Amino acid sequence: MSSSTYVQLVDLAKHFGKVRALDGLSLDIAQGELVALLGPSGCGKTTALRALAGLQELDRGQLIVDGKDVTFQSASKRGMGMVFQAYSLFPHMTARENVEYGLKLKTHRTAGDKRKARSAELLELVGLSTHANHYPHQLSGGQQQRIALARALAISPKVLLLDEPLSALDAKVRTQLREEIRRIQMELGTTTLFVTHDQEEALSIADRVGVMRNGQLEQIAAPSELYDRPKTSFVAEFVGLTNPISGKVSGGSIEILGSVVKTLPGSVTSGTGIALVRPESIDVVASKSGNAKVAAASFLGASCRLNITMNDGAKVTAQLPSSDAAGIGAGATVSVSLLDMPVFVKAAG
């Protein structure tokens, strides 16, 4: 355990019938850090979060927060702030009363004046001080989730737990709110565990992202490392887009698309393998004597995505800055090569 470790999940296990929701999950979170757990549905990420909140009993494992074992402590005494996927504001209370609720209870009891000041401060923080006297049904989804965030933060939680809080919102609000969550989290320095199935969300705001699969952590790393240096084929394929291209592996390199590139640790070391190549690692230049043809081109704003058919029939997707893609349209003959970026290679077949 490093000196800055604040939250420790040690060897957590939980079965639901025959399904192993958690299968020996261990995770350390440093104080003030925002860790996102990412994975497909049913991978156990929500179970892990609920276990830390005290809302899910475990079959095995230990939960340590701030040096104390909280494994058997009830949810009401753990001091965790949680924002749920479903709207969870108490419908009979105004926004202000919702934020003050936790402070009125025995565990966090605060005097009336201080409580009012604290709720005003938090409503200000989430930018909704003008809506303090609104009832939940008078607020939009995004506003409700902001109030829920203020309510969770009001009790000065040891850990802030976010269970897909943005998934019920539309795309624009989601982007705005996730940036706001990050701003508030950094401002308050609250240790945060964020569960999501949206990789863009996880990669954009987390200090570290943990990719989960079948109740276990496949890899946990900083977003850029996770994207550029995946340790398993599952991580490579789950995070971002990849082109599976087969080639011959030898001596830590693979030969694909006429180039030789290094392979990442954990890749296949010999024989034929399938390289998982990112679309941005493929360089495309318009050339009449090129080795491929563009099947379709989609303009995405700052970048352009090209669906390319190689002369040998293989299909690849490349993504390049719109400025570089100028003049390359559907039907154009192009020359495709690889940028010098290490790739993950999985076993063929």
Applying CB under 8 A, the residues found at the interface with other proteins are: 53-55, 74-82, 84, 86-88, 90-92, 101-102, 105-108, 131, 134-135, 137-140, 142-143, 146, 148, 151-152, 155, 161, 170, 172-173, 176-177
Taking the least distance from each CB to other proteins, the nearer of 78 and 278 is 78
Name the minimum Å distance from CB 10 to other proteins: 22
Q: For Cα atoms 323, 326, 328, give the angle at the middle one, nearest 5 degrees.
A: 140
Name the minimum Å distance from CB 137 to other proteins: 6
From CA 60, how far away is CA 74, in angstroms rounded?
Answer: 16
CA distances from 279 to 3, 239, 299 (A): 40, 13, 14
Taking the least distance from each CB to other proteins, the nearer of 131 and 278 is 131
Taking the least distance from each CB to other proteins, the nearer of 107 and 311 is 107
Taking the least distance from each CB to other proteins, the nearer of 53 and 245 is 53
Name the minimum Å distance from CB 79 to other proteins: 8
Taking the least distance from each CB to other proteins, the nearer of 52 and 275 is 52
Name the minimum Å distance from CB 75 to other proteins: 4
Burial class of 137 by CB neighbour count within 10 A (0 to 12, 13 to 18, 19+): exposed
Name the minimum Å distance from CB 91 to other proteins: 6
From CA 62, how far away is CA 70, in angstroms rounded?
Answer: 8
Residues 6+ apart with CB under 8 A from 46: 163, 164, 195
* Closest alpha carbon to 226 in 213, 235, 237: 235
